[in-house]
């Protein structure tokens, strides 16, 4: 049995590493990393977009976020992040039967205001899909839900949801602003948030390394995460080396046991974004929520 102190020390030291790979068991380096083995990941935006964002700029901001990572993959990686057509789909999560979509969407309604307290979806943890609403913590600005093989760490599907029920997303440059003022200024920046979430989608966890795209805190008005930092770039080059297979952290093991990993959140005026991790077991799947909050 491994002593607890060395494990805690290892996890503490890892928090300031240039990058931290997501694990089947969050933070446990004895478990497999999460990673894609396919050479192409097609992602799709929901046609609904975010009605409160000026024009269609949210679509462009999300596209720019994926492009920031794709530029790195083109230089030194083995994956292609390809945008597919916009889809009317509003459900996130992995389907064992039928096609799966790596979906990006905005939830504009709070489940607490539209779902009856007695509805079984609360126990099933499926109110978001059942009512097309936000059912996570109010302080969470976005969640990346990733389905993976819990023994090999291989990713099969990943979806990003934005909490537009609670936060005002903006796409402009300018000074920091707070609702109801959201014109020509930055409240919760779409591209800043999405670039961080795409990091989760490709297998990155949070790090306390200063200036990292995957840093777990961000003040309102932040746009610095729009640019992928050098540490996260190194992750792409090392975990997905060009001309080679994607790299596991441990010896690869195949399994039929699947698990989903989840996402991130933000803070209100004067607060900061902090990302927390919560794990839950769903039948043969596993879910991890990485949240940004105050």
Q: What are the extents of the domains in the chain?
A: 4-292
Q: Is the pLDDT of residue 267 over 90?
A: no
Model pTM score: 0.86
Q: Rounded mean pLDDT of 215-233?
A: 92
Q: Helix, strand, or coil here: 157?
A: strand
H-state helical runs in 49-97: 57-76
Q: Rounded mean pLDDT of 5-15?
A: 45
Q: Give the pairing type, strands 142-149 and 155-163.
A: antiparallel
CA distance 60 to 104: 12
Q: Comparing C-alpha atoms, which of 202, 170, 181 is closest to residue 266?
A: 170
Q: State the residue for tokens 């949801």.
A: 161
The reported pLDDT for the residue numbered 261 is 52
The reported pLDDT for the residue numbered 12 is 46
- pLDDT > 90 fraction of the chain, expressed in percent and rounded: 70
The reported pLDDT for the residue numbered 259 is 57
Beta-bridge partner residues of 145: 159
- Whether residue 142 contacts residue 290, with contact meaning beta carbons closer than 8 Å, is answered with no
The reported pLDDT for the residue numbered 211 is 93
- CATH 3.30.450.40 at 4-292, yes or no: no
- Whether residue 80 contacts residue 70, with contact meaning beta carbons closer than 8 Å, is answered with yes
Confidence at 60, pLDDT banded by 50, 70, 90: very high
- Whether residue 135 contacts residue 127, with contact meaning beta carbons closer than 8 Å, is answered with yes
| Residue of 184 and 292 predicted with greater confidence | 184
Q: Comparing C-alpha atoms, which of 92, 127, 124 is closest to residue 106?
A: 92
Can you say whether the dihedral through the CA atoms of 170, 174, 178, 182 is positive or negative?
A: negative
- Whether residue 287 contacts residue 260, with contact meaning beta carbons closer than 8 Å, is answered with yes
Cα-Cα-Cα-Cα torsion 41, 45, 46, 48, nearest 10 degrees, comes to: 180
């Amino acid at each position: 049995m491994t002593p607890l102190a060395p494990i805690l020390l290892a996890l503490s030291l890892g928090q300031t590493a240039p990058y931290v790979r997501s694990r089947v068991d969050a933070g446990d380096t004895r478990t497999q990393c999460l990673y894609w083995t396919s050479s192409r990941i097609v992602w799709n935006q929901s046609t609904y977009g975010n009605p409160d964002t000026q024009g269609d700029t949210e679509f462009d901001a999300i596209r720019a976020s994926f492009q920031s990572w794709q530029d790195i993959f083109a230089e030194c990686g083995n994956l292609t992040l390809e945008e597919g057509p916009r889809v009317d789909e509003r459900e996130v999560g992995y389907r064992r039967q039928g096609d799966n979509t790596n979906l990006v969407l905005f939830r504009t309604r709070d489940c607490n205001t539209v779902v009856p307290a007695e509805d079984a979806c609360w126990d099933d943890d499926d109110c978001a899909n059942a009512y097309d609403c936000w059912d996570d913590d109010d302080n969470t600005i976005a969640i990346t839900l990733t389905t993976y093989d819990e023994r090999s760490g291989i990713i099969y599907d990943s979806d990003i949801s934005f909490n537009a029920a609670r936060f005002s997303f903006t796409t402009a440059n300018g000074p920091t602003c707070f609702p109801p003022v959201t014109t020509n200024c930055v409240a919760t920046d779409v591209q800043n948030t999405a670039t961080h979430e795409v990091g989760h989608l490709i297998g990155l966890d949070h790090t306390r390394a200063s200036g990292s795209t995957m840093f777990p805190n961000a003040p309102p008005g932040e746009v610095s995460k729009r640019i992928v930092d050098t540490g996260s770039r190194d992750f792409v080059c090392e975990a997905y080396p060009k001309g080679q297979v994607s790299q596991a952290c441990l010896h690869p093991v195949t399994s039929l046991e699947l698990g989903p990993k989840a996402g991130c959140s933000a803070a209100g005026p004067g607060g900061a974004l902090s990302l927390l991790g919560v794990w839950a077991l769903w039948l043969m799947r596993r879910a991890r929520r990485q949240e940004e909050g105050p």
